[in-house]
Structure formats: structure tokens, C-alpha cells
Structure 1
Amino acid sequence: MQDAPALPEKRLVFEQICGSTPLLLNVPHAGTQVPDSLRAALTPGALDLSDTDWHMDRIARDLLPEGASLMVANVTRYAVDLNRPSDDKPLYAGATTGLMSTITFDGVPLYRPGAEPDAAEQAERIAAWWTPYHAALAAEIARIKAAHGYCVMLDMHSIRSQVPRLFEGRLPDLNLGTNSGAACAPGLSDAAFAALQASEYSAVRDGRFKGGYITRHYGQPEQNVHALQIEIAQECYMQEETPWSYIPERADRLKETLARLIAVMADFHPETEQS
């Protein structure tokens, strides 16, 4: 029997900035680090990491307001999906991928035949990557609440604008998720959506992407944690095929709109909502 792999260093799992304001930006799917054991198990095509939220960490860093907190995952979602519950309970009724998916968004196998993770390996991955990330995220939210009385979090994602297995046609440019209104105060949801609607981009609220595990689990407005998810069509800022290049002129326009969204979130205060 092989010895269980040592847990990775914190810096491998995620990077973190602990700020001084109630705002937290979280980027769980931009990681491109592939652990050696996973690399050996994946198909050559899977190593293209096509389902990555490419460059969202860069965009989040560029937009991070002074004093805001940031969490960015470094490990690929193919190791473990940080936006799924650890028990892998499905979040969507339609086609999706799970905690440790064995297929891409397009339904193509990720693993070489016979190399799919067994129960023991799945447990090791949860312990190595999922648990440390969520422990740190929960601790950061608790720290912010202790300092300010509330926390406002934006969970930042992107996806190819056309993925027929997951949704029909072209995805709207900006997809705001509030778990159908359960993850944040109504006033925050309305103000955030208005900021998106005022832009040059198509926008929808609680459409195909209502918010994943992070938004649904941590977004508890009755506990003074207000969470929003933004899912961005990648065509808005990058090349939607390998080598997944960042397109600065597109990204700069997009960041103007995202900056307005983040400003709305930074200006939110629960006491204003209640008045």
C-alpha cells in the first residue's frame, strides 16, 4: 500500500489577502496547478484545462478595492471542485459536473481508462484541497463579521459562452446569481443587477447560474453574510479556445462594468437595507 500523499502547502491550495473592509472577492475556479498524481491520470486532452475560469484571478486582483479581502484557488478544479459540497449533492437539476468530475463540461472523459479516482483518493483530495480552502474561507468571513458586523462576498466565475451540454445557445454576458434571492439582501441584489443592466453587456439574474455551493452555503443574510455570484461569458475578455489568451482591450471594457458592480457591493450596508 502506498503512503498517503502529504498535504500540500497552504500556498499551493490558495492565496489570500486579508483586508480591512467588509468586502471579499473569491475566485475558486481559476487554478491551473495540476498535482503530479492527477497529471498522470488525466488524458492529454484534459490537460488543456478547458473548464478553467481563465484569468479571473487576474481580473479580481486588478479590481480589488483598497482594503478588500481576496481568496484565489491555485489548484485546478479537476482535482476537486471547490464550488460543490463535499458530499457531492447535485446543485442543478440539469446537466452539470460534480465534486470530482470524470468528464469535461462537454461530456468528454477526463481520465485515462481505469484511472478515475476511487473512494480513498476522493477522500484524500477533499482533505488536501477542499477542506483547507473552505476552512480558510469560513474563517475569513468570520473575521470580517467580527470586525464590521457583516460581510459582503462576490464569488467570481467565467465560462465559455457556448457549452451545448450545459445550456442552449449563447450564454448572456453577465450572469448574476443570488440563489433566487436567498443569498443576499434584496436591496443589494437589485442594486448589483441594476449596475450590470446599465452596461453594454447582456445581463440576467438567477438564470442558468443561480449560484453554486459557495454562494448558497455562505450567503446567509440573516447571519449578516451577503453573497453574490457572477458568471461571465469568456468571450467578453478572452479567446475561448486554447491557448485561452487574455484580450486586454476586451478585458478593460469588462472591468469598467465589474468595477461598478464591486463599488455597489462595497457601498452596501445592512443598516441602510433595514431603514
Structure 2
Amino acid sequence: MDKVLSFHQGHLPLLISMPHAGLRLSDAVRDGLVESARSLPDTDWHIPQLYDFAQELGASVVAAEYSRFVIDLNRPDDDKPLYAGATTGLYPATLFEGEPLFKEGRAPSAEQRKQYLEQIWRPYHDTIRRELARLREQFGYALLWDAHSIRSLIPHLFDGKLPDFNLGTFNGASCDPALAERLQGVCAQAQGYSHVLNGRFKGGHITRHYGDPANHIHAVQLELAQSTYMEETEPFAYRADLAQPTQQVLQRLLQACLEWAEERYAGSSDKTVNS
């Protein structure tokens, strides 16, 4: 495969992951998609643009180049389901609305999907693993922010309208509860926005797999309602008027992560933190 991800290394103990922002397709996937899937409606649209302040902040950033329709980077490589209800797998077969993703008999072959796993999925996860290890070695701890977005109304996946900010910590297993509480406080102070912790979206594979608070790696997933920054129907246009105040909340959330970690680990010796 050609370029499968973009990566920027920052100078703060924070890595932002964007696994569903990619738009590229393999030939087999492009040729097999049903007509309604060709606009890539289930993309986490404009996430790199929405977080364009992250590099200036000093965070490391890794973003997918390929669409989740090729392979879903937020699913485990064994494709074990993450949610009890309706969901999509490592190799999505349906759109979020439950309709088939591929024309009959036109899904990629098992051999092609094995290639996607080795040449797209693994490099992304190798990048996360290496960067978290580097941050923990340098700072004694690491913060992982898994950045997502989704349409606010998808009856096949969840009832009613989704809250604006959906924080996921795998029911408290992926980060220190005090960090989750700090983030909830930021959301509560954000006028005009709703939020929930560990609601319909508790964190996917990235949050669950890499979050390890006992070893000083704290992971949080944010599933952001797309109505907070864009048009949710084609052509899925970015709305700067909506995005600007939403970006301000995102910046406060990331700053809260960093401030909490500085307080949590202040005065800790390298020996204590790295134990």
C-alpha cells in the first residue's frame, strides 16, 4: 500500500488518534461499494481540521489515510464485537443505517483483507504503541485522546438524538476516574452543549486496548456529534460558525487532561512513576 497514515510528533505527553478520518479507498473497496456508500457517509468528517490547533498545542497526532470502509482501525484484529447492540466490524459489511455496504458478491476477498490488516491496521497501531511508549519513557505517563465524530441521529445504532460530547473510558477502566470527572466538569461548563460519560459510546478498541491507568497510560475516547461543527447531510460541509465554539471546548478538554496529569504526577520520582 502507499501512505496509510500521517503522524506528527509533539512535545507534550499527549497523543491524539484519528482512526476514522481517512477518505482513501482500495481499488477493490471502491469498485464494490453500493451507490449510497460512495459518498463515504460514515466518515468522521473533518476531524483533522477540527483539531487543527493540536499540533500548535504540542500534542502528537496520528491520523488514518484510508476509510473505515477498507478496514476499521478502532476494532481488534480478531474482529471480536465491542458492543452488544448493532455495530460494525473490522471489515464493515453494512452502513450505519444497516444497509449492505457492498454490492452482492463484490466485497474484498479474504486475501485482500489480510493485506489491509497487515499494511493499514498494523502500521497505525504500531505508531500508537511506539508513541505511547516514548511518552511514558520521557514523562513517566502518557495521555491518549481518541478523536471521533458521528451523525447525531442514527436510529439503527442508538435511540433519539446523541448528546454533543460523548466521553468514553470503558466504564472507568481506561483512565483514572479523577480525569474523567475533570473532563465532565469541563463539559458541564460548556454552555449550549450536552454531554454524557460512558453512554452509547464507551470507547472502542483503541481506548480499551491502550488505556492502562495502573501503568500510567490514560485513554479517553470522544465521540462528538457532527451537528456541533458541520452539516450532517451531503455534501457534509464544514461549518466554521458551529466549529469555532466547539473547538474552544475541545481545547479546554485537552488542556484539562494535561493539567490533571501535571497535578497527578507532580513530585513523583521517575522510579515511582515508571514502576
Which residue of 95, 99, 102 corresponds with 1:111? 102
CA RMSD of aligned residues (A): 1.5
Residue aligning to 1:184: 175
User: Which whole-Å CA distance do the structure 2 matches of 1:92 and 1:255 have between them?
Assistant: 29
How far 1:56 moved relative to its partner?
A: 0.7
1:206 aligns with 2:198: yes
Note the 1:259-270 alignment, pairs <5 A: 259-269=251-261
Which residue of 72, 78, 86 corresponds with 2:69? 78
Residue aligning to 1:221: 213
Aligned-pair identity in percent equals 42
User: Which whole-Å CA distance do the structure 1 matches of 2:261 and 2:72 have between them?
Assistant: 31
How far 1:117 moved relative to its partner?
A: 2.7
Asked whether the 8 Å contact 1:224–1:270 carries over to 2, the reply is no
- SS of residue matched to 2:52: helix
| Per-residue deviation, residues 26-47 of structure 1 (Å, max 9, x unmatched) | 1110111112222111122211
Asked whether the 8 Å contact 1:42–1:110 carries over to 2, the reply is yes
Distance 1:204 1:65, change over 3 A: farther
Which residue of 219, 233, 238 corresponds with 2:225? 233
Residue aligning to 2:144: 153
Which residue of 125, 130, 148 corresponds with 1:134? 125
How far 1:98 moved relative to its partner?
A: 0.5
1:244 aligns with 2:241: no
Amino acid aligned to 1:196: C
Amino acid aligned to 2:205: Y
Q: After alignment, is 189-198 or 64-73 more displaced?
A: 64-73
Residue aligning to 1:56: 47
Q: Given the two structures, how large is their TM-score scaled by the length of structure 1?
A: 0.93
How far 1:270 moved relative to its partner?
A: 6.8
1:102 aligns with 2:93: yes
- Paired residues in the alignment total 266
Asked whether the 8 Å contact 2:6–2:64 carries over to 1, the reply is yes
User: Which whole-Å CA distance do the structure 2 matches of 1:252 and 1:274 have between them?
Assistant: 33
User: Which whole-Å CA distance do the structure 2 matches of 1:64 and 1:229 have between them?
Assistant: 19
User: Which whole-Å CA distance do the structure 2 matches of 1:211 and 1:111 have between them?
Assistant: 27
Distance 1:65 1:266, change over 3 A: farther
Q: After alignment, is 130-139 or 37-46 more displaced?
A: 37-46
Amino acid aligned to 1:268: W
How far 1:67 moved relative to its partner?
A: 2.2
Which residue of 188, 193, 199 corresponds with 1:197? 188
Amino acid aligned to 1:203: H
Asked whether the 8 Å contact 2:10–2:55 carries over to 1, the reply is no
| Per-residue deviation, residues 126-153 of structure 1 (Å, max 9, x unmatched) | 0121011111111111111111111011
Asked whether the 8 Å contact 1:238–1:250 carries over to 2, the reply is yes
User: Which whole-Å CA distance do the structure 2 matches of 1:237 and 1:43 have between them?
Assistant: 27
How far 1:121 moved relative to its partner?
A: 2.3
User: Which whole-Å CA distance do the structure 2 matches of 1:13 and 1:164 have between them?
Assistant: 32
Amino acid aligned to 1:256: Q
Structure 1 gaps, min length 5: 1-7
User: Which whole-Å CA distance do the structure 1 matches of 2:261 and 2:56 have between them?
Assistant: 16
Asked whether the 8 Å contact 2:54–2:61 carries over to 1, the reply is no
Amino acid aligned to 1:190: E
Q: After alignment, is 117-126 or 138-147 more displaced?
A: 117-126
| Per-residue deviation, residues 204-258 of structure 1 (Å, max 9, x unmatched) | 0000000000000000011111000000110111000110000000000101111
Q: After alignment, is 260-269 or 116-125 more displaced?
A: 116-125
- SS of residue matched to 2:219: strand
Which residue of 63, 68, 71 corresponds with 2:59? 68
